[in-house]
Amino acid sequence: MPNAMKIVLGVLVGLVVWFVVATFGNFAIRGLVAGYAEAEPAMRFTLPMLLARLGLGAVSSVAAGFACAALLRSVPVAVKFLAGLLVIFFVPVHYSLWTQFPLWYHAVFLVSLAPLALLGARLARPLASAANGAA
């Protein structure tokens, strides 16, 4: 498969993983954080709820970078594209929610997306090394 197709595949897998982890994690937050399900429709979150959402975003970003890198060990640039695409995707989302969340929340979420995806890719390196050693 040509590298361009691999990159597209890796980025798509990373995006799917991000949204799957975020979706299931959001269900978990609803069940674990008191009052979250009631606050969610109006997006009137308390500080612990905002921190839980940021934590979930962090886990989702790391998982996305990990999945992309684990799939495409031979094309590390795919994770960089994924990291950039996550930022490009979420900037307009957060712009539309600008008045509903504090500035620090938007800043932490948006600034952490790319580095956390790259961290996830870095965590996949030992997996790649083990796979290469076993081959």
Q: What value does the mean pLDDT take over residues 108-129?
A: 90
Contacts of 25 (CB under 8 A, 6+ apart): 56, 59, 60
What φ, ψ does residue 102 adopt, rounded to 5°? -70, 155
pLDDT band at 102 (very low <50, low <70, confident <90, very high): very high
Q: Which residue from 105, 68, 98 is spatially nearest to 85, judged by alpha carbons?
A: 68
The span from the CA of 61 to the CA of 57, in Å, is 6
| Span 48-87, pLDDT tens digits | 999 999 999 999 999 999 999 999 887 889 999 999 999 9
- Is the overall model pTM greater than 0.85, yes or no? yes
What pLDDT does residue 70 have? 93
The span from the CA of 64 to the CA of 21, in Å, is 9
Q: How far apart are the first and last CA of the chain?
A: 20
Give the burial class of 121: count Cβ atoms within 10 A of its Cβ; 0-12 exposed, 13-18 middle, 19 or more buried: buried
| Span 5-60, pLDDT tens digits | 889 999 999 999 999 999 999 999 999 999 999 999 999 999 999 999 999 999 99
What pLDDT does residue 54 have? 98
